[in-house]
Chains A and B, each alone.
Chain A
Amino acid sequence: GNSVTQMEGPVTLSEEAFLTINCTYTATGYPSLFWYVQYPGEGLQLLLKATKADDKGSNKGFEATYRKETTSFHLEKGSVQVSDSAVYFCALRGNNNDMRFGAGTRLTVKP
């Protein structure tokens, strides 16, 4: 079945550092890929998405490119801020509309 694997956390960075959170997936067909963010005490919010190969999703300085050849959707940001501290979830939606989430990666950004 479909699955998502993302790098284990926690990840701790200093402000303005470069962020990469790896995500790889296994799926049949042509899934859509998502990154969700969960701030402390809140629900999940869609951060960005990509619906086909080579698409780049971007939002709030975050980017991720749908790489079919490596089955990856790594999240990147060039300069993180303290306010980016949250848990980040990579997710996949398959052709049958079944949604699968990664285990989540906790990011802490220190001033």
Chain B
Amino acid sequence: DTAVSQTPKYLVTQMGNDKSIKCEQNLGHDTMYWYKQDSKKFLKIMFSYNNKELIINETVPNRFSPKSPDKAHLNLHINSLELGDSAVYFCASSQVGESRGTQYFGPGTRLLVL
């Protein structure tokens, strides 16, 4: 069973569209994250959620909004997509206090905005 899964794996869309990326973890972790990886492989944390509370919100545009229907899911919704949003987005999860917070990553969603 996949520990952290994301859908879709690939997403190609036009500028101005609204899209969502879904993430699910079956590890029973209490914290989930979204990262953006640019073409140079640099990883930037975007959000993290702990027990449905946003605890980290780096300086990302408000076009990006995380939505967590329950502890096992953290979806990423993006409004009015721009060319610069093209990147790979990774979801991750961890359990505070377990293995000193090792994060487990999903396979990534490759977003291309045309």
Contacts and interface: CB of A to CB of B under 8 A. Distances in A.
Contact of A32 (B90, B100, B107): B100
Interface in B75-108: 90, 92, 94, 96, 99-108
B41 A44 contact: no
A84 B108 CA distance: 20
A25 interface: no
B43 A89 contact: yes
Nearest to B91: A43
Main SS of chain A's interface residues?
strand
A38 B108 CA distance: 11
Interface string B32-74: 0100000011110100000000001000000000000000000
Contacts of A44: 43, 90, 92, 105
B105 A98 contact: no
Given A43-B90, A99-B33, A87 B100 contact: no
B31 interface: yes
Given A43-B90, A43-B108, A103 B41 contact: yes
Contacts, number: 48
Which residue, of A32, A38, A43, A89, has the highest number of chain B Cβ atoms within 10 A? A43
Interface residues of A, number: 21
Contact of A34 (B43, B56, B102): B102
Contacts of A77: none
A45 interface: yes
B42 A43 contact: no
Interface string A26-70: 000000101010100011111001010000000000000000000
A103 B44 CA distance: 9
Given A43-B105, A46-B104, 7 more contacts: A38-B41, A42-B107, A44-B105, A46-B102, A49-B100, A97-B96, A103-B42
18 contacts: A32-B100, A32-B101, A42-B107, A43-B90, A43-B105, A43-B106, A44-B90, A49-B99, A49-B102, A93-B103, A97-B31, A97-B94, A97-B96, A98-B56, A99-B33, A103-B40, A104-B41, A104-B43
